[in-house]
Every structure is written in structure tokens, then in C-alpha cells.
Amino acid sequence: MRAYDIIKKKRDGQKLNKEEIYFLVNGFVKGEIADYQMSAFLMAVYFQGLSDEETAYLTFAVRDSGEKFTASKIHGIKADKHSTGGVGDKTSLVVMPIVASLGVKVAKMSGRGLGHTGGTVDKLESIPNFKVDLSHEEFIDAVNNIGIAIIGQTKNLAPADKLLYALRDVTATVDSIPLICSSIMGKKLTADDDVIVLDVKVGSGAFMKDIVSAKNLATLMVETGKSAGKKTVALLTDMSQPLGYTIGNALEVYEAIETLNGKGEKDFEELCLVLSANILSLSGYGDYSKCYKMARETIKNKTAYNKFIEFVKMQGGDLSNFNSIEDIIKDSIVKEVRSLTSGYIQEINAEEYGLASLALGAGRNQLGDKIDYSAGIILKAKIGDKVEKGQVLALTVSRNATAHDIAKEKILFNTVIGEEKSKAIKLIKETVR
């Protein structure tokens, strides 16, 4: 078998078999297949696409390219929630404690943020002393003892994904739906969860800008999860504006805590409840309506909040600086962004708000960049709100004095204010089962 023949076969639009795809991926990871040959294969996939079966094979090859996670040591139903990335997306910090408080086991491996989207690991690391690099044994013990643990992805799990993404990033093949699917699901399947709920973002702040592309990706990921024997569902959710009222690591942790205390922004809370209900239903807790009520009750009776506190303490975190938003921003420069006109907010470019937060120091352009954990944006108005000239639209938070003007310009330029009130945004657009 030769890489040349496989590349030519896909270039000509022919279907590859499992052995051919595994041969390519394993050879690439071992260094036996050169970057230029794998780049040619990726470009062939970009133009010719992959069938659902080929996508599943590529996903499984990514999954099997490194160490296996010994999920059998975890007792009970294991579930995970994955988001395709957005601005202000802190749903894992709410959803995972909700389902864990009801007995679903959460053994979650999460990534770091890059560019305008945030990462769950970065948010957790904004909590002083929080440990994201538990040993395998500590991770398993934590899940078995309290039902939840979240750690960073290790380099030995699905190493093919990191290598393939590095090539996709420099060969203009990132936005290929089969390649996106194999990247996301290849990593997710290493955890060997029983249930996977996917939050596929669509809109200005998402990777998928339109509903058709988002649904295609969601459908392919659900089918791939099904091929792996996992109960999988995907929700298409809005990312035409930031989720909730905060963007930035410590700020988002605080908002998650407020939500778990029943004081969160209603749209954000609703999304968390819907995601939780889908996890619970797939985990055998009853129909969706019953599971939604169960999830909502965990916020009312504080069991989800208590589970979050237990989880943070188990991983060494200290939440004493999260009693108020003032505690988080006290050592930072805080500036107001005021509206230049009166009217209704009609549009917000979520991606540009994310880039404004990045300029303030809340994110990274490359993986080695350092983060200012307290930096970010606090929104004071969102789509549909009426504002007056001079009213505060947002607060920018950063230790970098020169960053505020950049962020202010992005926020003002990417907030459309007009005379007519826009239609209400549908947060959850569709469910793919």
C-alpha cells in the first residue's frame, strides 16, 4: 500500500476503505508519511469530500492514534457535552455540575481557547490553584468519588488530530466539514463516553456562519457518534451575539456561578437547561420534559451549585475571589464604552467582540501566549435592547492600558443601532437526533 495511490484515488473522487485511511493516519503520526503527502490528501478531501462511512473511518483513525482512556474504571453512565466554539460560551461550567448532581458521571477533557473563542480549561485555570493536569488515577478517582472531573487534553490522546490540524491551518483546508467532524469527534471518542451532546454554534461568532453548514456538520457528527455506538444528539444554537453578559475567563466563571445560583441571564440559563435535559434523557432518566424539570430543580435547590463547589475543591481551586464581580476586576483598569447614538441594538458581531476581548488580554493568538485571566468585556446591552446616546454598552477590563481603545473601537464599530427593534433571536434553532 502506498500513500501516492491513496491520494490519487481520493483526488479522482473514489471511495477509500478503512485500511487505506488507517494506513495514512498511522503512517503520518509515525513520521513515515511526509507532510507534503498528507497536505495533498487533505486538499483532495477538501475538494472531493468524504462519505459518511469514510468520515467515520477517519474519525476512528484519529481516535485510535494514541493512548486509550480506560473508561471502564468509571462506574455508571458517562456523558459529555461539546461546543464547537463561541464567544462567552461557559455552558460546560453549568451543564456538567447539573448532570453530575443527578448521578451522571462527567469525565471531561477540554481544550484551551485560541483566537476569538474561549476554552473551558482557561476558564478553570482562572480559579487560583485549580489543577487541570490530574494524573489518570486522580482523574478516575475524582469522577468515581464526586461524579465530575475536568482536565486538559493530554498530548498522548488522539495525537493525529494535533498534527492534522497544524497542516489544515496552513493549507487552507480548515473549513472542510468531514475534517472538522473527524477532529472534534476523534477527540471526543477517546473518552469513551456513553452519551455525547453536541452544541453546534451558528452565527457571526461561530465557525459555522450559516444554518445549512451548521446542520450538515451536526448531522455528520451525530451519524459518526452513532457509528461508534454512542448515544449522540446535536443542538444548533445561536452565536449571533455573545452568550450571556461576560466575555473573558474569570468573568465567565463568575457568571456561571451566578447562573448556578439562579441569578443568571435567562437565555444562557435556558440553553444550559436544554443541554442538560438532553444529556439526562439520553442517559435514561426519562423523557425530555421530565429531565428538563429535573435540571431546573437542581438550580432551584442549589444541588448543582454545591456540586460545582465540590468539584472545584476536589481539583484544588480557591473560589474566595469570586464572591463578586468587583473582586475579579479590582486589580484591572475598567473603562466604559458608551453609545454614540440612540435606538435599538439590531446586530452585534460576536466574532469581533471576541477579538476585542482577545486584544484586552483574555485570549491568545497562539497556544504559547499568556492570558490575563481577569481581562474581558462585561456587556450592558444586547440585541433588542433600547439604548440612549451616551448610555454604557459595555465595560472593558484589562491591565493593559493601551488595549482599551482597540477594544472600544471594535465594540462600537460592530454594534448596529437603529430605529426599529429587531426580531427576537431564537436561541435553539434545531435539534439533530
From 98, 94, 127, 123, select the one nearest 110 (Cα to Cα). Answer: 123
Q: Is 187 a catalytic residue?
A: yes
Contact 164, 170 (CB under 8 A): no
Catalytic residue among 81, 168, 215, 404: 168
**Catalytic residue check, 68:** no
Pick the catalytic residue from 187, 231, 296, 408: 187
The single residue of 10, 63, 78, 82 carrying the catalytic annotation is 82
Task: Answer whether 209's CB lies under 8 Å from 203's CB.
Answer: yes
Burial-class residue 13 by CB neighbours within 10 Å (0-12, 13-18, 19+). exposed
Are 255 and 322 within 8 A, CB to CB? Answer: no
**Polymer length of the chain:** 433
H-state helical runs in 263-302 = 266-282, 288-300
**Contact criterion met (CB below 8 Å) for 236 and 258:** no
Which residues have C-beta within 8 Å of that of residue 349, sequence separation ≥ 6? 204, 205, 414, 415
- Catalytic, out of 65, 126, 176, 183: 183
Cα distances from 280 to residues 7, 82, 289, in angstroms, run 43, 15, 11
Cell numbers for 14: 473514489
Distance CA 181, CA 49 (A): 12
C-alpha dihedral sign at 298, 299, 300, 303: positive
Q: CA separation (Å) from 136 to 82, 105, 109, 154?
A: 21, 16, 11, 10
Query: What is the spatial distance between Cα 274 and Cα 296, in angstroms, rounded to a whole number?
Result: 9
- 210 burial level (CB within 10 Å; 0-12, 13-18, 19+): exposed
For CA atoms 8, 9, 11, 12, the dihedral sign is positive
Say how far apart CA 330 and CA 174 lie, in whole Å. Answer: 39
Q: Active site residue: 80, 89, 122, 161, which one?
A: 161
Residue 264 cell numbers, joined: 443568571
**Euclidean distance between CA atoms 389 and 342, whole angstroms:** 5
Catalytic residue IDs: 82, 161, 168, 183, 187
